[in-house]
Amino acid sequence: MSDTDLLKGLIGCLDLTNLNDDCDSAAIAALCAKAQTPHGNVAAVCIYPRFVAEAKDHLSGTGIKVVTVVNFPDGGEDTVAVEAATRQALADGADEIDLVMAYKALAEGRPGFAETQIVRIKRICGDTLLKVILETGELQDAETIRKAADVALAAGADFLKTSTGKVATNATLDAAEILLTAIAETDKTIGFKPAGGIKTSSDAIAYFDVAKRIRGDAAPNPALFRLGASSVLDAMIASIEGREETKGAGY
């Protein structure tokens, strides 16, 4: 597969994201328009819960999913509040939920709390896709990242996601390797989503290459692989069209 064809496939795996503090209705409209490209639609837009209903209206008939975040970005321990936010997001029409694991509890030696919170949110989600954000850059060491992955998988995560994009260190290829290895060692069909700091076509391809090497992914498949980013889409389109990439700012 040529890099051009691969990038077209990866556009279809992109969760195009706006989780900026100043996001407003105009920005959501622009994001939803941008999500529909001449080279195919992205998989989803990822936005704050308060914009879910608006995004659903903008994307009606496109096949593009609406993803929202809960327990974001802190990965807190008020599970009742997270449950309420999840129920509201689903009522508003969210197609997928990205939950920040209570990663600080896990790092402090309380993995049971983190696991129970995920179990409770998955129970509310039912068949709705649940991606669990591990915040790997804050967990730092490989052993703790692997522990977080195993906890999330045991609790029913449908996807493992690296990062919120709100901390100093977000997605890394080393973290990707750990998460994908954990997934590969299960007998479940679990997706993987690197997020935060993915800026160039080369970045996008590098993460897919790790998934291909470890899991044998033959081609980009949004059921198994997503990219969480706000700025990489422009770079991917530029590369597909033979133009120079400009490294954008943002998630």
* Residue 98 is among the residues annotated as catalytic for this protein: yes
Q: What share of the chain is helix, strand, coil (3-state, %, to 5)?
A: 45, 15, 35
Residue 233's Cβ-count burial label (10 Å; 0-12, 13-18, 19+) is buried
Please state the pTM of the whole predicted model: 0.97
Each of the 251 residues of the chain gets a pLDDT tens digit; together they read 899 999 999 999 999 999 999 999 999 999 999 999 999 999 999 999 999 999 999 999 999 999 999 999 999 999 999 999 999 999 999 999 999 999 999 999 999 999 999 999 999 999 999 999 999 999 989 999 999 999 999 999 999 999 999 999 999 999 999 999 999 999 999 999 999 999 999 999 999 999 999 999 999 999 999 999 999 999 999 999 999 997 666 67
- From the list 15, 95, 98, 203, the catalytic residue is 98
- For the chain, helix (H) and strand (E) counts, in that order, are 11, 10
pLDDT of 1 reads 83
Q: Which of 8, 122, 131, 193 is catalytic?
A: 193
Of 11, 30, 221, 233, give the one whose Cα is nearest residue 47.
30
The active-site residue out of 8, 65, 131, 161 is 161
The class that CATH gives domain 3-240 is: alpha beta
Burial category of 169 from C-beta neighbours within 10 Å (exposed 0-12, middle 13-18, buried 19 and up)? middle
Q: Which residue has the tokens 């709390």?
A: 113
Residue 246: predicted pLDDT: 78
Q: At what angle do helices 201-215 and 173-184 cross, to 10 degrees?
A: 30
DSSP 8-state class, residue 230: S
Q: Where are the domains of the chain?
A: 3-240
